[in-house]
Amino acid sequence: MSYYLPTILIQDDEVEIVCIIKKLLSKNNYKILTSNNGDEGLLILQKNKVDVIITDIKMPFKSGIEFSQKAREMYPDIEIIVCSGIDTKKYLCEVADIGISATIPKPFNSKEFIEVVEEVVNKCRLQFLHQNKYTNSVVINSGPTISKIGNYLYNNSINTYQIRDKKELLELMVTVAKSSTTSISVVILDYPSVSEWQLNCQQFEDSEIIITLSERELKNENIRSWCYENYGLYVMSENISEKELIHLIKNTITRIKVKQELKYKEKIFEFYSNSAKSQGKALIQCSKDIIKESDSLVEKQNKMLAHADRLASLGVIAAGVAHEINNPNSVIRVNLQLLERYWKKINEIIYDYIKQNKNNEKDTLIQKAYEDIPSTITDSIEGTERIKKIVSDLKSFAHSPNSDSAARNADGNSLGKEEINVYELIEKAISLTRHKHKHLCTIEKGYAKDNDQRPALIYAQSVGIEQVFVNIILNAVDAIKEKELLNSKEMIEEKYKGSILINGHIETEKELIITVQDNGIGIKEVDLKKIFDPFFTTKPIGEGTGLGLMVAYNIITEHKGRIEVESTYLKGSIIKIYLPLIIRANS
């Protein structure tokens, strides 16, 4: 454990004054050095690391001002207190240039003198702790968690404490509280331990608590609500992957470092504010600088916190999505494949039956089912495969959106991408969403599907771009449905009929523009700036995830494009998508 012992140099040409000050400060735990002139003081500074200088102004050989200037050159962070019987106003400019911490007039009041010195020493102590404090310490009581991130914590020199019960945790907290170089940053506990130990959140004032929940506990709304109310937002599945857990720990530690930096700056600012009267104009200017720096730090901290929270939230949600969707999707796919095999065995029997009873009107339905079942099974199997790809894409976008680090082929194109016609993908997206829009609205297309003069060809991952148009069309359909419901109650628009118009045109030789326009409910102006935020939705609870436009934005950005939204509440929305075209020499 590092121990801080402040060193104070007392300098005055009057020996009696030096003895009085030394006696006053001897009651505190300080290392005291003394000097009677500037030259002697500089020799002491060359041999000793001094934290605080208490100096007179008028001295033989070197004045206090000259001595302080030399001392500042040797130790830029040294604290200087001017204690003089002359009027310091005439030296105000020189004192301000040096950057003194306080001025004490002679004769001085013993109590006030000690208070000023203690305040300056406290600032030095705060700086020492700030320079030596380790904020990267993690406490874990979950076996599976330590096995996932143990190597990462060790390789990154992050202190790790594994505890088994409440007693060990409390003992560790007492030990850390006494230390000047260690703090607990992250505490990872499982839900049974948290509920049984009945911990007080105030005990973890400077720490972030992450609670691991089992799949059964995650589904329990009461448990989740209790965790949020008592320990904050950070709840994760015990099945979280190693990569996602490391991502969460890194962001949490970054956030804590920012908070501690802000806390340190606030204390330093408080120090300057409390001593402003004794420091005069020099410290008034210093206070302005601290205020400006604090405001800048607050702004940076807010941006970092928002970014870290988004990334952490996306990582945690992705694990839950993969588990909750992929498992039942696998069951559906296996059953459909089994059904497909059974159908191949019985379709001949049904065919013979239809052939023998083709004049029976009741068997018309059987014949229609016979014709539709094979394509229905095939479409369903393709749908399960699409669900699997969507979940996989969502996880990848959550962790590395807009990444430019993907491997590239010889032509400079990302691997996994291919030459595709955007209009064909739009047709597929319209077909995939037909069950949603066929009875609710019409979809008009203002582009030529087969444009021989200039086809809309891009390099892209077809599944991703197709998913963009699926998400946008579904959002438009939901907006139309919401306006239709509102219109039935308040009669906003007479004879309202929902419509979606999809246009495509080549603005320049290098760029394709796709616009999707609907006459749905629209978006309120206050919500427009948040539509690409993860988990933001204007739909009723339970009807939207808030991920559709976020995923679309990430996919388009990854393909070097951009997406813009214009909307008027109760009038409708226009979404514009800009994608780079394939450039060929003969185009």
Token representation of residue 261: 């930096």
Of 14-28, 224-238, 301-315, 456-470, the one with minimum mean pLDDT is 301-315
| Per-residue pLDDT reduced to its tens digit, 426-485 | 998 898 888 888 889 999 998 755 444 567 889 888 888 988 998 899 999 999 999 988
Quick one: pLDDT at residue 303?
Answer: 60
Confidence of residue 86 (pLDDT cuts 50, 70, 90): low
Quick one: pLDDT at residue 403?
Answer: 40
**How are beta strands 498-506 and 511-518 bridged, if at all?**
antiparallel
Q: Can you tell me the distance from the alpha carbon of 544 to that of 393, in angstroms, rounded to the nearest whole number?
A: 18
Are the beta carbons of 454 and 506 closer than 8 angstroms?
yes
In terms of DSSP H, where are the helices of 400-461? Answer: 422-432, 434-437
Higher-pLDDT residue of 174, 179: 174
Q: Provide mean pLDDT across the span 58-83.
A: 84
How high is the mean pLDDT of the chain? 75
Are the beta carbons of 258 and 299 closer than 8 angstroms?
no
Tell me how long the chain is: 587
The sign of the torsion formed by the CA atoms of 308, 314, 316, 319 equals negative
Q: Can you tell me the distance from the alpha carbon of 584 to that of 36, in angstroms, rounded to the nearest whole number?
A: 84
Q: Can you tell me the distance from the alpha carbon of 108 to that of 85, in angstroms, rounded to the nearest whole number?
A: 9
Q: Can you tell me the distance from the alpha carbon of 297 to that of 286, in angstroms, rounded to the nearest whole number?
A: 16
Q: Can you tell me the distance from the alpha carbon of 41 to that of 11, in angstroms, rounded to the nearest whole number?
A: 7
List, in sequence order, every residue forming a beta bridge with 31; answer none if it has no partner: 7
Quick one: pLDDT at residue 401?
Answer: 40
Burial of 349 (0-12, 13-18, 19+ CB in 10 A): exposed
Quick one: pLDDT at residue 587?
Answer: 46
The closest alpha carbon to 480, from 529, 433, 436, 432, belongs to 436
Are the beta carbons of 308 and 353 closer than 8 angstroms?
no
pLDDT surpassing 50 at residue 410: no
Are the beta carbons of 462 and 425 closer than 8 angstroms?
yes
Are the beta carbons of 134 and 182 closer than 8 angstroms?
yes
Are the beta carbons of 38 and 13 closer than 8 angstroms?
no
533 CB neighbour count, 10 Å cutoff: 15
Quick one: pLDDT at residue 120?
Answer: 84
Quick one: pLDDT at residue 132?
Answer: 56
pLDDT surpassing 80 at residue 407: no
Q: Give 204's DSSP letter.
A: G
Mapping DSSP to helix (H, G, I), strand (E, B) and coil, where does residue 508 land?
A: coil
| Per-residue pLDDT reduced to its tens digit, 144-155 | 666 677 777 777
Token representation of residue 115: 């208070």
pLDDT surpassing 80 at residue 497: yes
Higher-pLDDT residue of 524, 262: 524
| Per-residue pLDDT reduced to its tens digit, 346-381 | 887 887 777 777 666 666 777 777 788 888 888 888
Of 248-257, 273-282, 288-297, 456-465, the one with minimum mean pLDDT is 273-282
Quick one: pLDDT at residue 404?
Answer: 40
The sign of the torsion formed by the CA atoms of 329, 331, 332, 337 equals positive
Q: Can you tell me the distance from the alpha carbon of 199 to that of 187, in angstroms, rounded to the nearest whole number?
A: 12
Higher-pLDDT residue of 454, 334: 334
Higher-pLDDT residue of 471, 333: 471
Q: Can you tell me the distance from the alpha carbon of 109 to that of 20, in angstroms, rounded to the nearest whole number?
A: 12
Token representation of residue 553: 């934005």
Element (H, E) at 512: strand 511-518
Quick one: pLDDT at residue 192?
Answer: 76
pLDDT surpassing 70 at residue 209: yes
The closest alpha carbon to 393, from 247, 534, 561, 554, belongs to 554
Q: What angle do CA 422, 423, 425 make, to 5 degrees?
A: 65
Token representation of residue 511: 């760029």
Mapping DSSP to helix (H, G, I), strand (E, B) and coil, where does residue 162 land?
A: strand
| Per-residue pLDDT reduced to its tens digit, 114-125 | 888 888 888 777
Q: Can you tell me the distance from the alpha carbon of 84 to that of 424, in angstroms, rounded to the nearest whole number?
A: 86
The secondary structure of 341-394 as a DSSP string is HHHHHHHHHHHHHHHHTTT-GGGHHHHHHHHHHHHHHHHHHHHHHHHHHHHHHH
